[in-house]
Structures are given as C-alpha cells and as structure tokens.
Amino acid sequence: MKTLTLNPIAKVAGEVHLPGSKSISNRVLLLAALAEGTTFITNLLDSDDVKHMLNALTALGVSYKLSACRTKCEVHGLGGLFNHPHALTMFLGNAGTAMRPLTAALAASKVDITLTGEPRMYERPIGHLVDALRQLNAEISYLDNDGFPPLRIHGKALSGGKMQIDGSISSQFLTAVLMVAPLLDGDSEIDIIGELVSKPYIDITLALMQRFGVSVTHHDYKTFSIAGNQLYKSPGHWLVEGDASSASYFLAAAAIKGGSIKVTGIGKHAVQGDIHFADALAAMGADVAWGDDYIMVTRNQLNGIDRDYNAIPDAAMTIATTALFAKGPTVIRNVYNWRVKETDRLAAMATELRKVGAEVEEGHDYLKIVPPAQLKHASIATYNDHRMAMCFSLVALSDTPVTIEDPDCTAKTFPGYFDTFARLAL
C-alpha cells in the first residue's frame, strides 16, 4: 500500500485558493440538469464525488461541456425530470451527494435504473429516504440488504403529498426530497421525525433552489412546504464557493503553527455551515479575520473546548486533530452520524489519535481527547476516508513525522491536498 511520510513542519504561512465546494458542485450540477436553460458553472470541484455525478448525468443523456481543467462546466438543462428509454446501471462510488439526491430524482423520472457503489456505500443507510419516497408510491427495491444500496429504481411520474422523513441520521435524505418536490405533480408537505441533523446543509439546499427560482417555506426545520408543478430556471452563471470543509485543514494548520494562512473563495457571507469551523478555532484561542472572500487565521495559544458539533460534522473532524495541540482536553459532542460516513469516524479517530499518544474516550456520539505531552510517530490508517488522511496531516506540525497510509484517498473531495499542504510549509 502506498504511504506518505510528512516530516516535521516548523512553521506554515501563505494563501490557498480553495477548490469548489463538493456540496455545492453536486447540487448545482443536478439542479442545472433539471432546469430550463443553460448554466455556466465556474470553480466546479474536480474530484471523485463530482465525477460520479457527472458520469450519472452523461448516462442519463444530459448534455454538458466540461473544460479541459474540469472546473468549468456548461450544462444544458432538460427543463424537467430525466427520461431514459433503456435500463441502466450507474456506479456512484461513495458519494453521498450523488447517491441520495439522484435516488429521489430518478424515482420520479421515467427510468429503470440500478444504483451501485463502493462496498462502503452498501453500509451507509438510505432507508429513511426510501421510506419517504415510498409514501409517494415510488417503486424502489433493495438488491442486497434492506435499508442500504444497491437500489433498483422503477421510476415513474410521482405526485407530491404528505411525507414524513426521519432526520436523525442524515440531512441528505431531506435534501434529496426537497430538490425533487417542486417537479412533482401537486404540492408536498414534509414532517421531520426526530431532530434533524446537519441543518446547515439544508440551508445550502434551500439557497441553491432559490437561485434556481424555487422557494420552500419551513418552520424551524420541522415542517417543510413546497409547491409542485414548478420548473427550475437556470440562473445563468454560477460561481461555486470554495469548499469550507477543505478550508478547515489550512485554517487549523495556521492556528497550530502559523504565521497566518488566508483561504480565499469563501468569506463571511458563504452559504456553507462549515465556515463556522473558524468560530470554533477562535473559541480555542486562534485569531480569525473575516472578509467578503477570505478567512484568515493566525496562530495563538490554543485551549481545548467542549462543544456540540452536530451542525458541522465534516469540519469537526479537523477539531479532533487540532485538539492534539491545545492545552487541556477537547470534547466533540453530538456527532453520532460520524459512524455512518466514509468509515465509522468515531472509532477510526479514537484508534488513530491513540496511536500518536492521545488519551481518548469514545462515547456513543462523542469523543473526548486529552493531548499527550509529546506526540509519537505513527503510521495512520485512513480507512478509505479522505478526511482521516487530511486531518492527520496536521500531526506533522509537531516535532514528530507522521505517516499517512493510502494518501490518495483524498481524491474523494481534494485530489491535490498534500501538494497544497506542502506549499504552506516554510
């Protein structure tokens, strides 16, 4: 297996122009495909998750032109749902932002489709979404284990109506239903069962739908109303914000061993909840400056903090390795759904943090991290989880090297991550 050893880095500083947001790239591609008109997308993310969405659109007959650098894309919208005459099988890797929204859109389209993915995708639940769509009479069956992909979808025109969606495991199920609801025949009313997780991702969905001409009303993320029989309308040009989750590694590096690092492509008005990772760093003691199109962090003494990170589950992983450099313990709370992402992230984080010397308590939905006096060199297993690889690069900001196993797994969202990280070392 390929490994990458990072030598100790004494200081970091510089500027990073962020690659486009994964969450926005895959949403915009799907909305642009369904919309009336042409959408000219710039700063599209070039990564595995986005390739899976693009490949799906190709298979479904959507016409688009991708630039040679793969960060510009002109999408010719269908002006409605998909319609494909032949049965298809589509491989969606481990991309939640492709699998979940496409399941809903395809269930309401005239298609006969099998959705497959990587082995880990078959362990990531999708039952709450399928249950919701079945309330509209969608025909979806499980090909292997109940509640998990692979799925067979006999798509057909669906009417909107009343639905209940369990929101306690993933917000992506609600995102999926919200995006298809305006295209259904008749209005939809959604009741959320349980407490909705990862709420800021719903704000991304609603903001993007709004830019495509569709409004949704909701009451405190508990009930959602969407008028049916609508069409999405292309907004014309679309600049994808920088990826706020990807920004977290650079901002944390500055907080630990800056110098200052400025990330550009996101700023104080960004739609992604993960920009609030910078607030968590500030609460730990880092100096944070915000602009319209940048966030800049400068090193200061970091102290451990105890917080609920349900709203920013991806960036919260970066807090776990930043905690190795803080004074006192750090507690990351209310992140049960880490267990159903690229790997069981609570277990993986606990195991790998212990390898570098931290004392870790792994709860059902939390992690308590007590930093060691001295970090140890370790070979870090990454579990085919891009964020494990990127988070543990921060260990090199000590006087100990760190070895990252399978560093190429960052391709899911950030293929050039280690080159960009290395450029910041002084």
Ligand X SMILES: O=C(O)C1=C[C@@H](OP(=O)(O)O)[C@@H](O)[C@H](O)C1
Ligand Y SMILES: C=C(OP(=O)(O)O)C(=O)O
Among 149, 242, 313, 407, the residue binding ligand X under the rule CB under 6 A is: 313
Could you tell me the two tokens for 48?
């595995």
CB atoms within 10 A of CB 70: 14
Question: Interface with ligand X includes 117 (CB under 6 A)?
Answer: no
- The binder of 413, among ligand Y, ligand X, none, by C-beta within 5 to 8 A per type, is ligand Y
- The binder of 198, among ligand Y, ligand X, none, by C-beta within 5 to 8 A per type, is ligand X
Query: In the window 231-270, what residues touch ligand X (CB under 6 A)?
Result: none
314 among annotated binding-site residues: yes
CB 116 within 8 A of CB 149: yes
210 CB-near residues (< 8 Å, 6+ apart):
none
Q: Which residue lies nearer to ligand Y by CB, 51 or 154?
A: 51
Among 71, 97, 318, 410, the residue binding ligand X under the rule CB under 6 A is: 97
Q: Which stretch binds ligand X (CB under 6 A): 28-36, 105-113, 170-178, 228-236?
A: 170-178
Cα gap 38→36, rounded to integer Å: 7
Q: Give min distance, CB of 331 to ligand X, in A.
A: 19
Q: Which residue lies nearer to ligand X by CB, 23 or 103?
A: 23
List Cβ<8 Å contacts ≥24 apart for 343-352: 343/120, 343/383, 343/384, 343/385, 343/388, 345/317, 345/385, 345/387, 345/388, 348/381, 348/383, 348/385, 348/388, 349/317, 349/320, 349/388, 349/391, 351/381, 352/378, 352/380, 352/381, 352/388, 352/392
Could you tell me the two tokens for 293?
């199109």
Cα gap 129→126, rounded to integer Å: 6
170 among annotated binding-site residues: yes
Cα gap 74→58, rounded to integer Å: 13
Query: In the window 303-332, what residues touch ligand Y (CB under 6 A)?
Result: 314
Query: In the window 341-360, what residues touch ligand Y (CB under 6 A)?
Result: 341
Cα gap 20→134, rounded to integer Å: 34
Beta strands 162-166 and 151-154 are unpaired
Question: Interface with ligand Y includes 368 (CB under 6 A)?
Answer: no
Catalytic residue (choose from 131, 243, 274, 314) = 314
Q: Give min distance, CB of 410 to ligand Y, in A.
A: 11
How many C-alpha atoms does 226 have within 13 Å on its Cβ side? Answer: 31
Among 94, 103, 109, 172, the residue binding ligand X under the rule CB under 6 A is: 172
Cα gap 188→209, rounded to integer Å: 15
CB 96 within 8 A of CB 124: yes
Q: Which residue lies nearer to ligand X by CB, 52 or 262?
A: 52
345 among annotated binding-site residues: yes
Residue 314 is among the residues annotated as catalytic for this protein: yes
Question: Interface with ligand Y includes 97 (CB under 6 A)?
Answer: yes
Q: Give min distance, CB of 424 to ligand X, in A.
A: 24
Question: Interface with ligand Y includes 96 (CB under 6 A)?
Answer: yes
Question: Interface with ligand X includes 321 (CB under 6 A)?
Answer: no
CA 121 to chain centre: 14
Among 12, 136, 197, 425, the residue binding ligand X under the rule CB under 6 A is: 197
Beta strands 162-166 and 188-193 are parallel
What is the Cα Rg of the chain in Å? 21
- The binder of 95, among ligand X, ligand Y, none, by C-beta within 5 to 8 A per type, is ligand Y
- Pick out the residues of the known binding site for phosphoenolpyruvate: 22, 96, 124, 172, 345, 387, 412
Give the footprint of ligand Y on this chain (CB under 6 A): 94-97, 314, 341, 387, 413
Give the footprint of ligand X on this chain (CB under 6 A): 23, 96-97, 170-172, 175, 197-198, 201, 313-314, 337
- Pick out the residues of the known binding site: 22-23, 27, 96, 124, 170-172, 198, 314, 337, 341, 345, 387, 412
Query: Could you give the residue numbers annotated as active site?
Result: 314
